[in-house]
C-alpha cells in the first residue's frame, strides 16, 4: 500500500496545477467523505482593448492602404489611412470530473469546449462614412485536456497543499510567431491553439474563525515558443454565513525571460509573453451538503502585452 501511495504521489507531482481544482469547502467534503466531484463551469471573456509591453492602452489600429488605378494609360495612386477597432469574445464550457476517494489526495480532469469570435471594424472618418467590417473570424473547438492533482496536509488552523498538473492540447500548433498585418486588408486567421503545459506549486490556506486566507504560487512550463510563467494568487474569504463564502482574490502572473518583438500581443493568437495583475470578486455557496455554486467576476487591473479582459466565471458542482 505504501508503494502504491508513493507511485500515486509521484504521478501527481508530474502533472499540472490549478488552484480552482480544489473542491470548495474542504471541511464539508471531508466531513461527508465524498468520492467524486462533478462540475460544469463556464468562463465568458470579452475585450476590446489591449496593453503593449509598456502598459500603454491600445484602442485602435491603423491600416495604411494604397489604391492603384489606371485611367487613360495613366497610373493614379491614392493613399488611405484607415483606423479600426477589434472586439474579442471567448466562451469556455468545461466539464470537471474529480476523484476524492484517496486519503488527502484529489485528482481532477477538465475538458474545455471553446468558442472564440474576433471582429475588426473600421471607424468612421472622411475615407470611411460607415463602419465596415474589416475581418471577422469565429471558431469552436475542444481545446485539450487538463489533469490536475494534489496532496493535502491538514492542520488545526491551516491546510497546505502541493499541487501539480498537465495540459495536453488537441491539434498541433503550426502558426508563425508573428502575423504581418501591414500590407493587405484581409490577411488574418484565427488560431488560438496552445502547446503542452506543466505546472507545479503549493497552496497555503489559513483559517481564522469566519475569515480565511489562501496563498498560492506555481511554476508553469509551456512548450514551443511560449515563455514559462510564475503564477501567484492571494485570496481573502469571509464565512460569516453558514456554507457561504464571499471572496476577493488577487492574481499576479508573469512570464519569465525577456520580451521579444515577435511576442507582440494579438487578438488572434494565444499570448507568448505577458504580465498581468487581476482582481476576482465572487461568492461560493453550498445549497445542500452535495450541491454547490461558485461565481466570480475577474477584471484586469494592469498588464503588459495582454488583452484588457473582463471574465465571468460560473461553476456548478455536485459531490457524491
Task: Please say whether the beta carbons of 279 and 249 come within 8 A.
Answer: yes
H/E element holding 138?
strand 133-142
In the chain, domain spans:
2-319
What does R_g of the chain's alpha carbons equal in angstroms? Answer: 23
CATH 2.40.160.40 is right for the domain spanning 2-319: yes
- What stretch of H or E contains 237? strand 229-238
How many CA atoms does the CB half-sphere of 263 hold within 13 Å?
21
The pLDDT, as a whole number, for residue 266 is 87
Cell representation of residue 259: 520580451
User: What is the per-residue pLDDT for 184?
Assistant: 37
One digit per residue, the tens of pLDDT, for the chain of length 320 reads: 444 444 433 333 333 344 444 444 454 444 457 889 999 999 999 999 999 999 999 999 888 777 776 666 677 777 778 889 999 999 999 999 999 888 889 999 999 999 999 999 988 877 677 888 888 888 898 999 999 999 999 888 899 999 999 999 987 655 544 444 443 344 466 667 788 999 999 999 998 889 989 999 999 999 988 999 999 999 999 998 888 999 999 999 999 999 998 899 988 888 999 999 999 999 999 999 899 999 999 999 999 999 999 999 999 999 99
Task: Return the C-alpha cell found at 45.
Answer: 471573456
According to the model, what pLDDT value does residue 254 have? Answer: 97
Amino acid at each position: 500500500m505504501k508503494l502504491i501511495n508513493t507511485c500515486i504521489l509521484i504521478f501527481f507531482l508530474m502533472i499540472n496545477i490549478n488552484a480552482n481544482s480544489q473542491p470548495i469547502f474542504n471541511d464539508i467534503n471531508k466531513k461527508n467523505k465524498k468520492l467524486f466531484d462533478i462540475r460544469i463551469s463556464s468562463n465568458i471573456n470579452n475585450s476590446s482593448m489591449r496593453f503593449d509591453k509598456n502598459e500603454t492602452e491600445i484602442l485602435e489600429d491603423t491600416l495604411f492602404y494604397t489604391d492603384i488605378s489606371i485611367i487613360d494609360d495613366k497610373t493614379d495612386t491614392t493613399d488611405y489611412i484607415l483606423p479600426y477597432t477589434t472586439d474579442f469574445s471567448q466562451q469556455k464550457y468545461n466539464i470537471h470530473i474529480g476523484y476524492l476517494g484517496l486519503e488527502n489526495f484529489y485528482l481532477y480532469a477538465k475538458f474545455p469546449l471553446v468558442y472564440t469570435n474576433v471582429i475588426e471594424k473600421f471607424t468612421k472618418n472622411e475615407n470611411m462614412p460607415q463602419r465596415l467590417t474589416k475581418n471577422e473570424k469565429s471558431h469552436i473547438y475542444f481545446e485539450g485536456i487538463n489533469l490536475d492533482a494534489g496532496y493535502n496536509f491538514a492542520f488545526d488552523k491551516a491546510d497546505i497543499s502541493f499541487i501539480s498538473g498537465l495540459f495536453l492540447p488537441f491539434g498541433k500548433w503550426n502558426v508563425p510567431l508573428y502575423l504581418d498585418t501591414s500590407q493587405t486588408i484581409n490577411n488574418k486567421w484565427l488560431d488560438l491553439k496552445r502547446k503542452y503545459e506543466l505546472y507545479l506549486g503549493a497552496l497555503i490556506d489559513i483559517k481564522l474563525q469566519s475569515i480565511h486566507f489562501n496563498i498560492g504560487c506555481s511554476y508553469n512550463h509551456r512548450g514551443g515558443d511560449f515563455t514559462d510563467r510564475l503564477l501567484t494568487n492571494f485570496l481573502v474569504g469571509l464565512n460569516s454565513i453558514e456554507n457561504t463564502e464571499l471572496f476577493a482574490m488577487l492574481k499576479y502572473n508573469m512570464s519569465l525571460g525577456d520580451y521579444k518583438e515577435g511576442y507582440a500581443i494579438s487578438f488572434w493568437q494565444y499570448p507568448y509573453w505577458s504580465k498581468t495583475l487581476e482582481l476576482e470578486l465572487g461568492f461560493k455557496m453550498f445549497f445542500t451538503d452535495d450541491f454547490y455554486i461558485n461565481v466570480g467576476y475577474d477584471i484586469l487591473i494592469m498588464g503588459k502585452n495582454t488583452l484588457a479582459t473582463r471574465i465571468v466565471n460560473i461553476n456548478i458542482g455536485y459531490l457524491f
